[in-house]
Amino acid sequence: ELKTGKPKREDVITGSADNNVSDYIYEKMGADLHRQPDHPICIIKQAIYDFFEKRNPGMFKTFDDRYPIVTTHANFDEVLVPKDHISRSPNDTYYVDANTVLRCHTSAHQAETLRAGHPAFLVTGDVYRRDSIDSTHYPVFHQMEGVRVFTEAEWTAAGADATALAEKDLKDALEGLAKHLFGDVECRWIDAYFPFTNPSFELEIFFKGKWLEVLGCGVMEQVILDGNYKPGHKAWAFGLGLERLAMVLFDVPDIRLFWSGDDRFLKQFKAGDLSARFKPYSKYPSCYKDMAFWVSPEFSENNLCELVRNIGGDLVEEVTLIDNFTNKKTGRTSNCYRIVYRSMERSLTDEEINAIQDKVRQQVADVLKVELR
């Protein structure tokens, strides 16, 4: 009775006053990049599934088609996200209506999957976040959630206390995963905070001369497990971003390439092959436009980026604040943003960019209620 498949438009873009989902976002739904065998996002997913299958044969059940529209209860409350946490704000999350969102993380499925009785699972899906625009951020990306539950018999047999066993198995599994994907890399653990795990960690790997954050994880908060599985158990959980891993591993320089559908990109990857390295086929020239305005109290950069994306689509490569000052007398603040346009597929004409930029300027003034300078 769980819903699957591509949502209907009217189930995403509703008449609710709280709805902040655009057609641009709706059009991305149901693409299922993580289920196309030769797509780099799916190749990474499969490599992770293979790793866990080899480490613990038959243990992890995998889910790839959980419905991306979830309740705020599932997305936030069930994983203990505080009522005043910024991730709940409509500036950060896409709301379908007041009680329904496009999931902003696969952690939205932890509780329901535990309730269904699964002691170990991997859930992969598209997640949605309002954010800034640059080569590594896209409003839709893919995450995988992993959960493993331990019984009392397991920590007794290990001669460890429950938390120690969960933490040890978690770190051992994820370090093994990092080496499975990236070769013999150095790993380090950073203390972190997530509302749903305690203790919480981030894994970093040393790759091509830099420490890179790979994932977040920790020992599941006991109330989540007790309330949705059964008391007397212990669990770990992790969540990782597939685009991030794929960009690092396959040398993909811009996150939009995953969505381009361009054969010159897709042809470079093959199911089961982790050794592919993306060879750029040509970088088309970029073009930038600067835009300065007096901000209003309600102004937010995420709203600006959303607006620019809705007009310029995937031609928008980056939006950056390049200058900002406050007039001492009037107290008004001026922001200057640079919008960089570039297509991954072709050369752009001046006319085309000017038309987009004119529309952006007009809507920025009309919709964001700022005063252009």
Whole-number minimum distance, CB 30 to ligand PHE, in Å?
21
Cα distance between residue 184 and residue 214, in whole Å: 15
- Interface with ligand PHE (CB under 6 A), residue from 72, 107, 124, 343: 107
Rounded CA-CA distance 350/311 in Å is 16
Residue nearest to ligand PHE (CB): 239
If the CB atoms of residues 40 and 239 are measured against ligand PHE, the closer one turns out to be 239
DSSP state letters, 156-192: HHHTS-HHHHHHHHHHHHHHHHHHHHHSS-EEEEEEE
- Provide the minimum distance between the beta carbon of 131 and ligand PHE in the complex, in angstroms, as a whole number: 12
Chosen residue from 31, 237, 257, 344 binding ligand PHE by CB under 6 A:
237
Of the residues 63, 76, 155, 194, which one makes contact with ligand PHE according to CB under 6 A: 194
Measured from the CB atom, is 149 or 356 closer to ligand PHE? 149
Q: 122 or 305, CB closer to ligand PHE?
A: 122
Strand residues in the chain grouped as ranges (E): 61-63, 69-71, 95-97, 100-102, 120-128, 140-150, 186-194, 197-207, 210-220, 234-241, 287-294, 316-326, 333-341, 371-372
Per CB under 6 A, 102 contacts ligand PHE: no
Minimum distance from CB of 236 to ligand PHE (Å)?
8
In 3D space, the residue among 51, 56, 231 whose CA is nearest the CA of residue 148 turns out to be 56
- Applying CB under 6 A, among 93, 100, 124, 197 the residue interacting with ligand PHE is 197
User: Among residue numbers 132 through 151, which ones bind ligand PHE (CB under 6 A)?
Assistant: 145
Label each residue of 198-214 as H, E or C.
EEEEEEEEEECCEEEEE
Check residue 182 for interaction with ligand PHE (CB under 6 A): no
Q: Tell me if residue 121 falls in helix, strand or coil.
A: strand
Going by DSSP bridges, is the β-strand pair 197-207/234-241 parallel, antiparallel, or unpaired? unpaired
Tell whether residue 129 is a contact of ligand PHE (CB under 6 A).
Answer: no
Binding mask 202-231 for ligand PHE (x = CB under 6 A): --------------xxx-------------
Residue 51: half-sphere exposure toward Cβ, Cα within 13 Å = 21
Binding footprint of ligand PHE on the chain (CB under 6 A) = 105, 107, 145, 194, 196-197, 216-218, 237-239
